[in-house]
Structure 1
Amino acid sequence: MRSSLALLPLLLAGCATDSAAPQTASQPAAELYARSFGVAHPATLLVVLHGDAPTANPGYQYDFARTLAAHIPDARVVALLRPGYADPQGNRSPGDRGLTTGDNYTPDRLDAVSDSLRRLRARYPQARLVLIGHSGGAAMAADLAGTRPELVDGLLLAACPCSLPEWRQHMKARLPAAPFDQPVRSLDPLQTVGGAQLDLRAVLVVGADDPITPPKFSRAYAEALALRGIATDYRVLPGKGHEILDDPEVLSAAERLAAALPKKG
């Protein structure tokens, strides 16, 4: 099901498929670990943030980034490893992972991600930047769009816990033994949305049967964006659950969003 919430329509366009071979760069210890795929001189830079991954070291963001680079021929796709996380290969980003209870969307962690975004902006000055987040990574992406609006041209949120206090109450009811009721310093996307730039283009995608981040949490944020006059596309995927980053609908949404952004220069 698709719901158009925008005051300005989101342009939909197709993309040809092609990609350069994947490349992985090493970073100094102070930087977040990243893997990059796609062309060396991109028109579009897409940055992927994985979810909270409470029970496993996340690596699925790399697979999605590789696939996305193969579908957008003029793009560079960078999958970041969030602060304090390790991936299945043992690579690690500096920082504190936290308890994964909505406690790690904090100002210091947002600073670490925004530092990476600024470096990427400097490296690819002619590229539009699309920030893509899944689950907890979507909450971080939304917070960054609201607190560092100059860094983000397009925003794609998949399965977002975008109404943070209400989502933590929801999770406490699901997992009574987990400390979802402990105070946190995380920023609530609904409280940061007022800082998003008005020419931002945003897409939110959520599974209709998602037990972790039900559609109401994405819809609340989509409505808040639309009330600001921001072009927003909100989609609910019938029969789908929480792990949707690799879903063809999410891939297609990223392609359309990249095609819709005005070219620089």
Structure 2
Amino acid sequence: MRSSLALLLLGASLAACTPGERLGAPEPGPGLYRQSFGNTPAKQVRTLIVVLHGDAPTTKPDYHYAFARSAAAAVPQSIAVALLRPGYEDPQGHVSPGERGQTTGDNYTPDRINAVAATIRHLQRRYGQARTVVVGHSGGAAIAADLAATHPGLVDGIVLVSCPCALPEWRKHMKTVSPTPLWDAPVTSLDPVKLVGGMQPSLRAAVLVGGDDKTTPVRFSRTYAEALSLRGIATDFRIIPGKDHELLSDPEVISALQRLAAALPGKS
């Protein structure tokens, strides 16, 4: 459940929108379906924020649109673009090309990661002076981590929220939470913690997890944050007390994004 404080902040950001601000405008161009938020002219954008939703096994995701709206309002000179992951459909009927998968950790595969990367490259051509920060929740966090490792230099920062970042161990955990033979099926997904060695040390990262998260318990985020630190990557690791898996709307996530964006050097 999203906290009442987080919802109040989201409402306040909506009330503060200036005339002409894009509120969920479909972002043009090829690739995954996406909506953009913010009113900074393209040539003046200094931070491109890309938002990835989670696996959403029982719903059609659109909560990442609300986060992108708040992110654009919180980070100066930014545009936030919320992507619909490959094969997913949102409640309004928008669909991204590709296969959704079984949502058992099976859809963090190279083809899906490459589809996200191609869409980001298209956005970067439009916002050529911007640093790129990818914010991912749950399965979207795993994809963001894999993306940063397999496409080094593509992004400048990652904010990972409720991440299943130690994939085989997380799938074993989920089999105890939701017993089904699907968790035993082999997958070709990439395991984020095993890819940390491919990341550029200049990357900046924030890793956040709820203290009461039963879906992606703290140990998975801690393991990944420790691996990042050993790689020499500046990492802001935070456990949010009393919070569960649905953490993306929490004000702490926006605060972490603000700190990370402010610490990134400008593009030359």
**TM-score, normalised via structure 2 length:** 0.90
1:47-85 CA deviation, whole Å, 9 max, x = no partner?
Answer: 000000000000000000001111123101000000000
Percent identity between matched residues is 60
- Tell me how far apart the structure 2 counterparts of residues 76 and 122 of structure 1 sit (CA, whole Å): 14
Of 129, 133, 139 in structure 2, the residue corresponding to residue 130 of structure 1 is: 133
How far residue 178 of structure 1 moved from its aligned partner, in angstroms, is 5.1
Check whether the contact 1:219–1:234 (CA below 8 A) recurs between aligned residues: yes
Q: Say yes or no: does 1:176 pair with 2:179.
A: yes
Of 77, 81, 85 in structure 2, the residue corresponding to residue 74 of structure 1 is: 77
- Tell me how far apart the structure 2 counterparts of residues 214 and 130 of structure 1 sit (CA, whole Å): 24
Give the secondary structure class of the aligned counterpart of 1:97.
Answer: coil
**Amino acid across the alignment from 1:131:** V
**Amino acid across the alignment from 1:36:** S
Of 24, 42, 45 in structure 2, the residue corresponding to residue 42 of structure 1 is: 45
- Tell me how far apart the structure 2 counterparts of residues 173 and 91 of structure 1 sit (CA, whole Å): 34
Give the secondary structure class of the aligned counterpart of 2:48.
Answer: strand
How far residue 124 of structure 1 moved from its aligned partner, in angstroms, is 1.1
**Amino acid across the alignment from 2:179:** P
Give the secondary structure class of the aligned counterpart of 2:183.
Answer: coil
How far residue 237 of structure 1 moved from its aligned partner, in angstroms, is 0.4
1:3 corresponds in structure 2 to none
- Tell me how far apart the structure 1 counterparts of residues 154 and 27 of structure 2 sit (CA, whole Å): 23
User: Relative contact order, CA 8 A, sep 6+: which one is greater?
Assistant: 1
Check whether the contact 1:19–1:73 (CA below 8 A) recurs between aligned residues: no
Give the secondary structure class of the aligned counterpart of 1:149.
Answer: coil
* Cα-Cα RMSD: 1.4
Give the secondary structure class of the aligned counterpart of 1:179.
Answer: helix
- Tell me how far apart the structure 1 counterparts of residues 158 and 88 of structure 2 sit (CA, whole Å): 23
- Tell me how far apart the structure 1 counterparts of residues 239 and 203 of structure 2 sit (CA, whole Å): 21
2:9 corresponds in structure 1 to none
1:161-217 CA deviation, whole Å, 9 max, x = no partner?
Answer: 000000000001111125111100000001111111110000000001000000100
- Tell me how far apart the structure 1 counterparts of residues 160 and 228 of structure 2 sit (CA, whole Å): 12
- Tell me how far apart the structure 1 counterparts of residues 186 and 28 of structure 2 sit (CA, whole Å): 33
Of 56, 60, 64 in structure 1, the residue corresponding to residue 63 of structure 2 is: 60
Instruction: Flag as ranges the 4+ runs of structure 1 deviating above 6 A.
Output: none
Of 153, 158, 171 in structure 2, the residue corresponding to residue 150 of structure 1 is: 153
Of 240, 244, 256 in structure 1, the residue corresponding to residue 243 of structure 2 is: 240
1:4 corresponds in structure 2 to none
Q: How does 1:1-265 map to 2 (within 5 A)?
A: 21-23=21-23, 24-25=25-26, 27=28, 31-38=31-38, 39-40=40-41, 41-177=44-180, 179-265=182-268
Q: Which has the higher helix share?
A: 2
Total equivalences in the alignment: 248
- Tell me how far apart the structure 1 counterparts of residues 133 and 233 of structure 2 sit (CA, whole Å): 15
**Amino acid across the alignment from 2:230:** L
2:3 corresponds in structure 1 to none
- Tell me how far apart the structure 2 counterparts of residues 160 and 68 of structure 1 sit (CA, whole Å): 19
Check whether the contact 2:27–2:36 (CA below 8 A) recurs between aligned residues: no
What residue ranges of structure 2 are gaps of 5+ in the alignment?
A: 1-12
